[in-house]
Structure 1
């Protein structure tokens, strides 16, 4: 199941995208992707969700009142660097497109009004490319373990970090104890990788 977050400040657009993606098969070559979709009209709410829930793909509008799509995807990239990033917009500014590619590394810029087939194909292609990159990284890490450049413990820490970002970081108190739930008002030191 591929987790997708869609952000647009227009609820009608979100309903249309959700409806279309529910019925259109998301296929690339022999790969079929079942999509689980979450939609947001607020960039801040979507960003908060992205900080706590892993997604495979983010699809966002470019022009929104709280923040533009590039700023949103830039923040998302910090939280989930391996997720696919697509921009859907009726605003076709070359500078905006250049900024999206350079700052965020978007996978695709799709114009509004979109062609359903083109949009579903772009999503499937991005998801297939992501799976290939992750598999290549996994195989390269196994090779690094085999030749001794990476320890099995470090490989496991990477695997856990991919599943649950931040799980390998520990916050220590001044007395040497582990802080399980940091107090947001205190100046707790940054976590240390174990």
Structure 2
């Protein structure tokens, strides 16, 4: 199952994208990708989701209030560098496309209105490419492990980080206790 995050400030666009992804099979090179789709109506909400879940692909609108798609996907890249990143935009200005490619390292820039086939095919291609990159990295890490160039602890840390981005990043207090994110601490306090 591949987890996908759709980000657009227009709820109608998000519903249309989700509908397309539920009706049109996402496949590439004979591989079918089952998609679990999450949606965010703002870049801020998208970043909250990216901090709490691992995503295989993030598809963002380019122009949104507060933060554009390039800035969002650049932040996503820092949090989850292995997530494929794509932009969907009704505005195709060259500077925006170049920034998306150079700064956010997107894999595709698609235009609105989109072709359902092109959208789903591009997503399938991005997910397949990501899978190949991750497999290559795992094989290289296994070789490094076998040749003692990578410790078993580092191998496991990389595996855990791939499965749950951020899990290995722990902040310690002077007394040896674990410091929680303030938002997470508030959520834990609010639980019954």
Name structure 2 gaps, 5 residues minimum. 183-192
Tell me by how many angstroms 1:81 deviates.
Answer: 0.3
How big is the shift at 1:174?
A: 2.4
Q: CA deviation at 1:183?
A: 7.2
> Are the structure 2 counterparts of residues 112 and 155 from structure 1 closer, same or farther at C-alpha, using a change threshold of 3 Å?
same
Report the 3-state secondary structure (helix = DSSP H, G, I; strand = E; otherwise coil) of the residue aligned with 1:27: strand
Change (3 A) 1:117 1:146: same
Shift of 1:91: 0.2
Q: With structure 2 as the length reference, what TM-score do the two structures score?
A: 0.91
Aligned to 2:168: 168
2:88 counterpart of 1:88 = yes
Distance in 2 between the 1:103 and 1:24 partners? 31
In structure 1, what is the Cα distance between the partners aligned to 2:156 and 2:148? 15
TM-score, L = length of structure 1: 0.90
Structure 1 residue 12: deviation in Å?
Answer: 1.0
- Secondary structure of 1:86 counterpart: strand
- Secondary structure at the aligned position of 2:82 is classed as coil
Distance 2:91 2:161 in 1: 37
Offset of residue 10 of structure 1: 0.9
1 CA distance for matches of 2:181 and 2:50?
22
Deviation at 1:161, TM superposition (A): 1.7
1:53-110 residue CA offsets vs partner (Å, 9 max, x unmatched): 1110000110111210000101111110000000000100001100110001100000
1:1-194 → structure 2 map (5 Å cutoff): 1-175=1-175, 177=176, 179-182=177-180, 184=182
Segment of structure 1 superposing worse, 164-173 or 115-124: 164-173
Question: Aligned Cα RMSD in Å?
Answer: 1.5
Q: Give 1:2 deviation, angstroms.
A: 0.6
Separation (CA, whole Å) in 2 of partners of 1:56 and 1:126: 9
What CA distance in whole angstroms lies between the structure 2 residues aligned with 1:95 and 1:34? 34
Structure 1 residue 181: deviation in Å?
3.9
Greater relative contact order: 1 or 2 (C-alpha under 8 angstroms, separation 6 or more)? 2
Count of aligned residue pairs for this structure pair: 183
Deviation (angstroms), 1:171: 3.1
Please state whether the residue corresponding to 2:167 is helix, strand or coil.
coil
Give 1:114 deviation, angstroms: 0.6
CA distance in 2, matches of 1:169, 1:59: 26
* Superimposed CA distance per residue, residues 26-70 of structure 1 (whole angstroms, 9 cap, x where no aligned partner): 010121000111111111111111111111000011011121000
